[in-house]
Amino acid sequence: MGFRWAFEEKTLEPALKKEIPSEKPKLELVPLNRGSFEAAPLLKRCLAAFVDYSVIGLGVYLFFFFSGLFFAAASLPLRQVFGAQSGSIVSAAFIMFSGFMAWVFLHGYFIYFEFTQGRTPGKKIFGLRVSARGEGLPSFRQCLIREASRYLDGLGFLGLYLASRSKSHQRLGDQWAHTWVTHSAGEENQDEFFYLIEDDYQTLKRMLHPRLPEEAFTQEFLKFSHTRWILKTTPERLDEVYQWKEKIFPFVNASQAERLEEESLVRFFAEFCRRSFGQWEREAA
Amino acid sequence: MNSGEKISVPLPQGQWKPAGMGVRLLATFIDGFIISVLSYPLTLMLQWSGGVNFQASATEPESVLFAQMVSITIWTAAVFFYYGYFYSQKGSSPGKMIFRLQVMKSETGLRLSWARAFIRESIGKTLSTMTLLFGYILGLLRQDRKTLHDFLVKSQVLQKVKN
């Protein structure tokens, strides 16, 4: 099942549709994958859960470490005043307090992130979102239901079994709270695209049929684009962009490249070189 | 077609800046924890199989030394596969992804190779620690936040921030 999500980010597709003259053959545009969501694959959900529980585990470990130090320090003067028996009272208090705080942290983590952002850090990495159909973010009540049912879902991997049987991969908590965990490839890869967003990159790649230049050219070109658009350590000189545009032309479909603004073309080619050259380098290694 | 009719591609949201040492430290903690969890089953299997006694006492120095060497080997292999895969394929590790950090070659922005990733995370970070943490302090003092292990493999860590 798939449904669309509203994004602020604009993509190139509407602009291309508008700009294509009717007498020219229409470009084959790739479907938007940034805005389209599908039911989250179970493997990704499990990996996201693993990352989330690792973060929680680390937080609980650090909390136990520091609260342990505090209680140990506090027990010393108490032992001197009330005798050795007060040590066991402090230990019991430490275990109860820390256990309660760990429980609060475990559930608070999921409720806070899912209610405020629709996704936990683990889900963010794998491009997953918890959504309430038609309303976007889940409500606080829905987050609570999801969280409360975690115990039942965890019993003998019941949640995993139910999710694998369900078409929309809903575990028991999802079914009760009427929420869906969805996946977007575009969201998952968004930080891996530096110079333009993935949809535009894929569209332009089909349009321009780029070829990778030789190594020295690619290295020099990437140094230019990296310092100009990513690090922003070189001044913005338009003549340099024009020069690079001329050099790039032999490596792309020139007639289609003419339709693009100079900077857009150079930025696209930088992303292409970064991705393709990296892949070439890895294969060569 | 004049320049005014040409198609302009919108920029991606957010911009890149050198990543602060605080988030990098947190990301390292998370990655370290994940690596520990991942390598724990192998340690347990070796313990149960009787091949290595990880709880050997000081009265058995040879067993202690052997167990330590096995532990270091497991950790090194885990670091190699974990960082090698994530840095070369994703440009970031799960801990770093949480904070939208990317590790890249400082000059070109290309991803690190397996070898560079391994040298950075093993030899590089050991050097940064052995120099009385000077390798990390360097990152605090410099504007580009490059540490000793970054200089060793010519890498840089950038963070994507919202506009």
Residue A31, CA atoms < 13 Å, CB-side half-sphere:
7
d(CA B62, nearest CA chain A) in Å: 32
Q: Which of B5, B108, B155 to mutate to test the interface with A (most CBs of A within 10 A)?
A: B108
**Measured between beta carbons, which residues in chain B are less than 8 angstroms from residue A12?**
7, 9-10
CB-nearest to A222 from B30, B97, B108 is B108
Select the residue from A191, A260, A265 to test the B interface by mutation, using most B Cβ atoms within 10 A: A191
Q: Which residue of B has its CA nearest to A221?
A: B108
Confidence category of residue A8, pLDDT binned at 50, 70, 90 = very low
CA–CA distances in Å: residue A104 to residues A84, A107, B136, B140: 31, 6, 34, 34
Q: Rounded to an integer, what distance in angstroms lies between the CA atom of residue A251 and that of residue A41?
A: 38
- Which secondary structure element, helix H or strand E, spans residue A88, and what is its range? helix A85-116
What confidence tier does B132 reach under pLDDT thresholds 50, 70, 90? Answer: very high
Residue A154's alpha-carbon distances to A58, A169, B39, B41, B53, in angstroms, are 21, 15, 24, 21, 33
Bridge-based pairing of strands A128-132 and B15-18 is unpaired
Give CA–CA dist A61/A96, Å, rounded. Answer: 15
Which residues in B lie closer than 8 A to residue A16 (C-beta atoms)?
A: 7
Indicate the pairing of strand B155-161 with strand B101-105.
Answer: antiparallel
Min distance B30 CA to chain A CA atoms (Å)? 6
Q: Is the Cβ–Cβ distance between A193 and A33 less than 8 Å?
A: no
pLDDT in tens, A73-116: 877 777 777 776 777 787 888 888 889 999 999 999 999 999 99
With beta carbons less than 8 A apart as the criterion, state whether A226 and A206 touch: no
- Give CA–CA dist A122/A126, Å, rounded: 7
Helix (H) or strand (E) holding A37: strand A36-39
Residue B25 is which amino acid? Answer: L
Which amino acid is located at A107 in the chain? Answer: H
Q: What is the pLDDT of residues B17-53, one digit of tens each?
A: 999 999 999 999 999 999 999 888 888 888 787 777 7
* DSSP-derived 3-state class of residue A11: coil
Question: Which pLDDT score is estimated for B45?
Answer: 84
Which residue is listed with tokens 């440009």? Answer: B91
Query: Pairing state of beta strands B15-18 and A36-39?
Result: unpaired
User: CB-CB: which of A121, A190, A259 is closest to B7?
Assistant: A259
Tell me, what's the pLDDT at A104? 94
| pLDDT at site B16 | 93
Q: Residue B121: name the closest of B154, B158, B149 by CA.
A: B149
CB contact under 8 A, A260 and B160: no
Q: What is the DSSP letter of A28?
A: -
Those residues whose C-beta lies under 8 Å from the C-beta of residue A237, and which sit 6 or more positions away, are none
CB of A203 closer than 8 Å to CB of A186:
no
Q: Using 50, 70 and 90 to split pLDDT, how confident is the model at A282?
A: low
The band of B120, judged by pLDDT with boundaries at 50, 70 and 90, is very high
Q: Does B146 touch chain A (CB under 8 A)?
A: no
Quote the pLDDT of residue A2: 37
Q: Distances from the Cα of A70 to the Cαs of A63, A75, A83, in angstroms? A: 11, 9, 19
Indicate the pLDDT class of residue A198, thresholds 50, 70 and 90. Answer: confident
Residues of chain B numbered 22-51 and touching chain A (CB < 8 Å): 29-30, 33-34, 37
DSSP bridge partners of A132: A136, A179
pTM (predicted TM-score): 0.81
Per DSSP bridges, beta strands A179-183 and B155-161 are unpaired
DSSP character string of A176-234: HHTEEEEE-HHHHHGGG-SSS-HHHHHHHHHHH------HHHHHHHHHHHIIIIIS--S
Report d(CA B131, CA B128) in Å as an integer: 6
- pLDDT above 60: residue B2: no
Predicted pLDDT of residue A16: 54
Instruction: Give yes or no for B97 touching A (CB within 8 A).
Output: yes
Written as six digits, the tokens of B10 are 């919108």
DSSP letter string, A38-58: EEPPHHHHHHHHHHHHHHHHH
Q: Which residues in A lie closer than 8 A to residue B16 (C-beta atoms)? A: 194, 230-231
**Does B12 lie at the interface with A, CB-CB under 8 angstroms?**
yes
Q: Are B79 and B35 in contact (CB under 8 A)?
A: yes
Q: Tell if the CB–CB gap between B10 and A258 is shorter than 8 Å.
A: no
Cβ contact (<8 Å) for B10 and A200? yes
Average confidence (pLDDT) over A226-247: 87
Give the single-character DSSP code of B142.
S
* Chain A touched by B103 (CB under 8 Å): no
Tell how many helices (H) and how many strands (E) occur in chain B: 7, 3
> Which residues of chain A does B34 touch, with a Cβ-Cβ cutoff of 8 Å?
50-51, 54
Question: What does the alpha-carbon distance between residue A108 and residue B163 come to, in Å, rounded to a whole number?
Answer: 29
Give the confidence band of A33 by pLDDT, cuts at 50, 70, 90: very low
Question: How is residue A12 annotated by DSSP?
Answer: S
pLDDT one-digit tens code per residue, A132-176? 876 688 999 999 999 999 999 988 888 889 988 888 889 999 999
E-only strand ranges, chain B? 15-18, 101-105, 155-161
Contact flag B9-A285 (C-beta cutoff 8 Å): no
Nearest CA in chain B to A193: B12
Q: Taking CB atoms and an 8 Å limit, are A125 and B97 in contact across chains? A: yes
pLDDT at A95: 86
Task: Find the mean pLDDT for residues B147-157.
Answer: 96
Residue B105 confidence class, pLDDT cut points 50, 70, 90: very high
Q: Which of B12, B37, B94 sits opposite A193 (nearest CB)?
A: B12
Residue reference for tokens 């991969």: A169
Mutation target among B2, B7, B93 for the A interface, most CBs of A within 10 A: B7
The pLDDT of residue A22: 41
Q: What is the ipTM of this complex?
A: 0.82
- Contact across the interface for B109 and A230, Cβ inside 8 Å: yes
How far is the alpha carbon of A128 from chain B, nearest alpha carbon, in Å?
A: 13
